[in-house]
Structure 1
Amino acid sequence: MRDFDKLWDFNHPDETERKFRNLLVEVQHPAELDYKAELLTQIARTLGLQKKFAKAHEVLNQVESDLTNTVPRTQIRYLLERGRVFNSSARQEEALPLFVEAWKLGCRYGEDELAVDAAHMLGIAESTPERRMEWNMLALEYAERHPNASRWLGSLYNNIGWAQVEAGNLAEALDLFERALQFRQGQGNANLIFIAKWSVAKVLRLMDQTSKALELQLELLKEIERGAESDGYVYEEIAECLYTLDRRMEASSYFSKAYELLSHDHWLTNNEPDRIARLKDLST
């Protein structure tokens, strides 16, 4: 793993960009072409996450000009990040062949971690639930067989779990989320454990195991009260559990807090306006 991988903070891509650009200044020797090119692909990724798509493509154009002189790993990184920028800017048709090529090269050259990354992106970008599931399952099988790619297991359990929720297969989803939680606990990352526990609780509520779901969400609320970042989705789930349990006076304050936080989530307001409206209607 390149040392710059350890600097990634996906919640703050602007800060990560600054760190990477500081590293880039230090790269001077021609022999470091591959390192520089890989680093540029990651700068492009930070720009994509900031929705600066044109700038991301400009950086990737710099990489592309030297691509024939780089090792396969660098070429795979380029394909992945060009594909991610296309995918994030709603140009999936252009992203898909890049991810497929990254997958093939990753498998061919034993870049297991990047191969799974490509398959997992195809599990996001493909146009039908069936194709997305096929790629997610292929990614999971590959990651389980290749220890170098095992760090992907938590994300894949999570992604496939939500695909099962979408398909209405709640028992299968719960099993996957519980496996994700166990995996995240083994990693010891508090933020990822928090997300995995929330996912388990969410599915328990959908399976009408409301009291158990509420118990887990209240544990997460205690973590927030002890200093974890405030999370509108936790307040929303507590509210929904209380509402289902006919504790509606208690639920209203949680709906209010959820609305206060989630009404500022631009993706949610654009894609699920009815959900935001429900939170507002059920608020205090």
Structure 2
Amino acid sequence: MKAVRTIEELRSGIRALQINLGPEATVGLVPTMGYLHEGHASLIRRARKDNGIVVVSIFVNPIQFGPGEDYETYPRDEARDLALAEAEGADLVFLPSVETMYPQPTKTKIMVSDITTRLCGASRPGHFDGVTTVVSKLFNIVQPDKGYFGMKDVQQVAVLQQMVQDLNMNVEIVPCPIVREEDGLALSSRNVYLSEEERRQALVLSRSLREAAAAVSEGTAVTAGDIRNLLKRVISQSPLADIEYAEVVSFPGLQPYPDDEEISRKDEAVLMALAVRFGRTRLIDNRLFNPKEAN
């Protein structure tokens, strides 16, 4: 594995691998913000399985953080990240500086409308503009055949799929399953912020999603309003939980269902999505399922 910090080094490294492996070798890209954990490792393993060449990028992207968010304090551990990436089979790790990615004030941004205004986009205006801009830059730099993204950030996956479709980008977005701790907590680099008690209470997120899915699979009529109320009721049992949203929407369109719409009979992908704060830590979680298949 080789770690590189400039665009020229990265492109040269990819070309050298392509010459060695042949033109049929596909390129898989795993974009990350570092502080890698088992969730990232699973993405790298999937990319390794699918492709001849695996590139991992590690870049804490300043333009996707809003005022007062944790850009400066976002956890970083380069040596640990490089060790994990190498252990999982990455060929190249791209560690650009902010100056490399944005050598001058950015005058061009990629913006996806509509689906970025709900869920996380409602409370984090401009966040997804930063995501789509940096990912499109990485796609242009790396020219991958496939990009790998975890479904914990399910709205991000939907937004990037829309971007690729609308702009005819020659790259496939590969969504990968949420990876959880044994007790159900979805893995996140921000979990390190949680106190012992906050982490214990944060288990209510996965529990609320399980209970809501079980309610749908019982076979009785369940509306979107029923699911929203159940999610909020279960989460509210944790005194430290501050609910930002507990929603039921279509996927990938992310259109909210009316409260009186029956979910248990739908034959389409339904997304239950959560954003909840525990102290200073904002956690997200979700469950995507087909209600008819569950019944």
- Whether TM exceeds 0.5 here: the answer is no
**Coarse TM-score class (shorter-chain normalised):** under 0.3
Judging by fraction of residues, say which structure has more strand.
2
Judging by fraction of residues, say which structure has more helix.
1
**Which has the larger Rg?**
1
TM-score by length of 1: 0.28
